[in-house]
Structure 1
Amino acid sequence: MNLGYARISKADGSQTLDLQIDALTAAGVAQEHLYQDEASGKRDDRPGLEACLKALREGDALYIWKLDRLGRDLKHLVNTVRGLSDRNIGLCVLTGQGANIDTTTASGKLIFGIFAALAEFEGDLIRERTMAGLAAARARGRHGGRKFELTKNQIRLAQSAMANRDTHVAQLCRELDISRATLYRYIGPDGALRSHALKALEA
Structure 2
Amino acid sequence: MRCAECRKWLRSAARKLARDLELSCPDCECEHHCVGEGSPGVIEDGEILYRMFVDPVDVDENGRLARAAFSKAYEDGLSIVRERANDAEVEALAIDILSTKPGQRTKKVLAIFRFPCVSVRRETISYNGAHVRAFCVYDQTVPRIFHQDLAPVPTHGIVLARRMYKAPVTARQFENDCNLALHRLVAAERIEVTNFRDGLIARLNERSAAGEFVRAA
Please tell me whether Structure 1 or Structure 2 has the larger radius of gyration of its CA atoms. Answer: 1
> Structure 2 length as normaliser, TM-score?
0.28
> Structure 1 length as normaliser, TM-score?
0.30
More strand by share: 2
Higher relative contact order (CA 8 A, sep 6+): 2
